[in-house]
Amino acid sequence: MYKISDSIISQLCEKENQDNERQMRHSCLMDQLPGKKIMIVLDDLWEDNHFQLQELKDALYHDESNIIILVTTRSDRVALRICSNLQPYKILPLTNDMCWDIIKQRSGFETRDDKEQLTSIGQEIARKCGGVPLAARSLGFTLRNVNFDQWMKVKDNEIWNESVLGDASLPNQVLASLMLSYSYMAPCLKICFTYCAIFPKGHKIVKEDLIYQWISLGFIKTTQLLSILQICEKYVMQLLGLSFIQLYPKVCCYLYIPMLHWIFHASP
């Protein structure tokens, strides 16, 4: 909750909040919010502690403010606790056809010579995504430039039938698809991504800093065609394509490490 308050304060004041005390945070919000028309988006809220949620609501809701708060969450319990005057709106999963469209786009399906052979296989993989766009995005990128046999192996992999241990709020299809994508990584790329697990959830890091850490640790193997930095840039683009890391929206040189520690927690 402190991070949320600090983020709101920094955007309203255009500076980082330096106060560590709870009362100082609350006082700063009280000073900044009244009299303003503000829309606050709390994306992927997972904290379900009743007292902390109530504290957040008390800090944000004011009689003198015209504030709209949009919250997205995977937890029904969080949605019910955070909504004061509206019923939560539950977004329906994507259809199988929508997932298939995502997979086709991410895999470059329309440019393949064997797309007729792969259509029914790809549609079955799309069905296994369970309507979750992240699963379709990750698998679609994984299926780029791989042959018919690899598509079959993804479709028939036993992981779809297993109960994958990890974040209980995530559908099994998401964890299964992410673990499949991870397993199909090249060994050098897998080492580089595994290293990212040392960072906390939601951590932001300058891209060049991450690259030089990979290099200093000896993760990057040189080739005759590409320099070390070109290989690192290629790895970053692959991880972005898999949705394993994201570009931080405010600063283009920052990478955002989302909550993909699921893969390592779920792996045996």
205 has which bridge partners? 255
Do residues 177 and 194 share a domain? no
Do residues 177 and 191 share a domain? no
- Give the mean pLDDT per block of 10 residues along the chain (268 residues): 64 53 59 71 77 76 71 82 80 94 96 94 95 92 94 92 56 79 91 87 84 94 89 93 78 54 44
pLDDT value at residue 267? 44
Q: Is residue 64 part of a domain?
A: yes
Do residues 114 and 148 share a domain? yes
Which residue spans within 113-162 are E strands per DSSP?
A: none
Instruction: Give CA separation, 258 vs 135, 177, 200, 231, 251, in Å.
Output: 15, 16, 9, 23, 16
Task: Give the residue numbers spanning the domain of 128.
Answer: 96-183
Do residues 141 and 64 share a domain? no
Q: Is residue 89 part of a domain?
A: no
Do residues 59 and 32 share a domain? yes
Specify the number of domains making up the chain. 3
pLDDT value at residue 263? 47
CATH number at residue 220: 1.10.10
Q: Is residue 87 part of a domain?
A: no
Identify the domain boundary among 183, 205, 225. 183
pLDDT value at residue 190? 92
pLDDT value at residue 265? 42
Do residues 105 and 77 share a domain? no
Q: Is residue 88 part of a domain?
A: no
Identify the domain boundary among 33, 58, 82. 82
pLDDT value at residue 13? 60
